Amino acid sequence: MYTHLRLEEVDSTNTYAKQHFAELADGSVVSAYRQTAGRGRVGRKWHSGDGLDITASFLFKNLEQPFLAGAITGIAAIELLKDECPEISPFFKWPNDIYVRHFKLAGMLSEAVWEQGKIACVICGIGMNVNSGDELLSGTGQPAVSLFSLTQKNFNVDFLIERLVKIVNRYYIICQQYPQDVFAKWREYNRLIGHEIEVVDPMGKCMRGVFRDVSPDGAMIFETDGEQKLFSCGDVKINAQSLDFFK
Ligand code: BTN
């Protein structure tokens, strides 16, 4: 049976989960009221308000493919948002973000723990801006929103985390038997498929093209200058002008 460990303060829930993964049951989650050194993708920092936002890391010890950790957590977050905040239209921005229009609402950081040449656990940490105000959001260095800034309503963070934990657990169970169903749902929430985007590759090179599809192992199939490229990491850039489905 999984456990939910709620910490008052920690450097990073991902770091804690990595350090303690052996003691924590499969499917467990570590969440925190305050992170003192929250981490984002590619070495970035992650800022969240004390008790204002969701900061939680899920442990997956039994996945067919590592990218499914982000898929399960992302699907669960979008389903939570659909239920609790139906006035917004969140979507998944490959590889690991949740956006509302061209603003970032949540980010995920997936990290693998290796033992004897095999992945023993994938940790997927999610940070979601819930009640953060403009001051905190403007310090993130990219266009960002919170549920509060979108709706002018305050949300009960503990309640949202508990619900998120339950939905993640439900999709993790589904994933054991029907990973293809989880993949299909994740693909459906990747609303940028078929749209023109910009990609920044791991070397920092920016390319314009079309997000054709996702491959069965979670990579992005990107078409530029009539050529298809496969990305397993990188950053997708969008802005208000580039997204025709907002119009
Ligand atoms: C990103 O968008 O770059 C990923 C952000 C991930 C932030 C979460 S908050 C909970 C967990 N602990 C961390 O230190 N990072 C993740």
pLDDT tens digits for the chain (247 residues)? 899 999 999 999 999 999 999 999 999 999 999 999 999 998 999 999 999 999 999 999 999 999 999 999 999 999 999 999 999 999 999 999 999 999 999 999 999 999 999 999 999 999 999 999 988 898 788 899 999 999 999 999 999 999 999 999 999 999 999 999 999 999 999 999 999 999 988 888 899 999 999 999 999 999 999 999 999 988 898 876 666 655 5
23-to-2, 32, 70, 176 alpha-carbon distances in Å:
11, 18, 22, 22
Most informative mutation of 21, 46, 50, 235 for ligand 1 (most atoms within 8 A of CB): 46
Strand pairing partners for 82?
none
Give 108 Cα–ligand 1 centroid separation in angstroms: 5
What tokens appear for 68 in the block?
């499914």
Residue with tokens 């950053």: 235
CA-to-CA distance for 12 and 216, rounded, in angstroms? Answer: 30
* Placement of tokens 């499917």 in the chain: 27
For a substitution probing ligand 1, which of 39, 105, 146 has the most ligand atoms within 8 Å of its CB? 39
Burial (CB count <10 Å: 0-12, 13-18, 19+), residue 26: middle
**Ligand 1 center to residue 67 CA distance, Å?**
16
CA of 239 to the centre of ligand 1 (A): 22
Q: How far is the CA of 203 from the centre of ligand 1 (A)?
A: 22
149 sits in which H/E element: helix 147-151
In terms of Cα–Cα distance, which of 46, 42, 76, 41 is closest to 58? 76
Angle separating helix axes 67-84 and 179-189, nearest 10 degrees = 60
The set of protein residues with a Cβ atom below 6 angstroms from ligand 1 is: 12-14, 35, 38-41, 44, 46, 55-57, 97, 107-109, 125-127
Q: Which helix or strand (DSSP H or E) is residue 214 part of? A: strand 206-214
Q: Which pLDDT value is given to residue 139?
A: 79
Per DSSP bridges, beta strands 4-10 and 29-35 are parallel
* pLDDT at 136 (0 to 100): 86
Its pTM stands at: 0.95
Identify any residues that bridge with 123 across adjacent strands, giving them in sequence order: 59, 111
- Residue of 20, 126, 140, 157 to test ligand 1 pocket, by largest number of atoms within 8 Å of CB: 126
Closest atom of ligand 1 relative to the 13 alpha carbon: 12
* Kind and range of the H or E run holding 15: helix 13-20
Distance from Cα 31 to the centre of ligand 1, integer Å: 11
Q: Which long-range contacts (CB under 8 A, 24 or more apart) does 49-53 make?
A: 49/131, 49/132, 49/133, 49/136, 51/157, 52/130, 52/131, 52/132, 52/136, 52/157, 53/127, 53/128, 53/129, 53/130, 53/131, 53/132, 53/146, 53/157
Q: How far is the CA of 146 from the centre of ligand 1 (A)?
A: 15
DSSP for 83-117 reads HH-TTS-EEEETTTEEEETTEEEEEEEEEEEEETT
| Nearest CA owner, ligand 1 atom 7 | 127
For position 234, what pLDDT does the model report?
A: 87
Nearest ligand 1 atom to alpha carbon 41: 3
- ∠150-184-176 over CA atoms, to 5°? 105
Q: How far apart are CA 193 and CA 68, in angstroms?
A: 18
**How far, in Å, from the CA of 247 to the mean position of ligand 1?**
31
Residue 41 C-alpha to ligand 1 middle, in angstroms?
7
Q: What is the pLDDT of residue 187?
A: 97
Phi, psi of 124 (to 5 degrees): -115, 115
